[in-house]
Copies of this chain bind each other. A is one copy, B any other.
């Protein structure tokens, strides 16, 4: 296990994440322009989605696939329940609900990093895991909102500016999700013939782009951590929660993977999906449907603490756990 840790930590993508954080710590003016960071993430979603789709086109359809997808959705709906129960002791109801939604949902970039890790390790993973990721995006948002309405006391009072249709649009049609699912469908339709056309674009640039993208994420996460420092009270709740929630959710995900007896690669991906927290789609949705929640709570938790934790320590840790439990 320690070897996996080391080899993960010395892989270029993670080292570039550290480099970004170091740039902030050293107060260097190193910066990735904003549109470039968006481009890098577009490329990563495009590439992983397409690869997953082509893999799906080559796979034989099995009931395990369907079961995995159903489990993924269930996880996304159930995980927020536990998170909420714990968090509402320390946080206002709105913040607890929004945080629960954030941690029930998934981070596409964490998923992409884990898939890259598997590729480097030469471990197969199923293309349907991309679909699983997409399915885990939205249930958590809806559950989070229902939790808020149930526990906040102002359930009857008509929600200002709220509409289920706009909620569903935010939850399901978020740009990142739309792109990765769309790319998966396109990969699935065009199959190996499509891969022969854009294969080198999709495969050979992947890890290099991931390096540059994680360099940017390192910069942004370190900045948010610095901002957090000025708020020691919040820090005492936020940081421990942001470290424990992924471990707990990951353990539940591992349990599900064990029940389904998933392959090594798929199991790791299901665990990382459970353990990861959204910092793009859910925060955006929460602004619209739960504006009472303070983004200063749930956003730095997922972006500045859980994301780095998952990609740096989480992936090899969960991998070790998967190998232990699913031999």
A297 at the interface (CB under 8 A from B): no
CB-contact partner of A175 in B28, B120, B200, under 8 A = B28
Select from chain B the residue with minimum beta-carbon distance to A197: B207
How far, in whole Å, are A91 and B10 apart by their CA atoms in the complex?
51
**Minimum distance in angstroms from A169 CB to a CB of chain B:** 6
**Minimum distance in angstroms from A308 CB to a CB of chain B:** 17
Contacts of A201 in B (CB 8 A): 204-205, 207-209, 211
Tell me the interface secondary structure of chain A in the complex.
helix
Select from chain B the residue with minimum beta-carbon distance to A29: B175
With A178-B28, A201-B208 in contact, is A186–B46 under 8 Å at CB? no
**Minimum distance in angstroms from A186 CB to a CB of chain B:** 4
**Minimum distance in angstroms from A166 CB to a CB of chain B:** 9
CB-contact partner of A173 in B28, B31, B178, under 8 A = B28
A1-60 at interface with B (beta carbon < 8 Å)? 10-12, 15-16, 19, 22-23, 26-36, 38-39, 42-43, 46, 50
With A29-B174, A42-B32 in contact, is A16–B207 under 8 Å at CB? no
Tell me whether A15 and B186 are in contact (CB under 8 A). yes
Copies of this chain, tallied across the complex: 3
A190 at the interface (CB under 8 A from B): yes
Q: Which of A23, A26, A182 has the most C-beta atoms of chain B within 10 angstroms of its own C-beta?
A: A182
How far, in whole Å, are A120 and B205 apart by their CA atoms in the complex?
21
How far, in whole Å, are A30 and B42 apart by their CA atoms in the complex?
10
How far, in whole Å, are A194 and B15 apart by their CA atoms in the complex?
10
**Minimum distance in angstroms from A12 CB to a CB of chain B:** 5
A179 at the interface (CB under 8 A from B): yes
**Minimum distance in angstroms from A159 CB to a CB of chain B:** 20
With A12-B197, A182-B19, A197-B12 in contact, is A31–B208 under 8 Å at CB? no
CB-contact partner of A23 in B178, B198, B212, under 8 A = B178
State the A residues within 8 Å of B (CB).
Answer: 10-12, 15-16, 19, 22-23, 26-36, 38-39, 42-43, 46, 50, 120, 169, 173-175, 178-179, 182-183, 185-186, 189-190, 194, 197-198, 200-202, 204-205, 207-209, 211-212
Seed contacts A33-B34, A201-B204; 6 additional CB < 8 Å A-B pairs? A10-B189, A10-B194, A11-B197, A12-B194, A29-B174, A35-B36
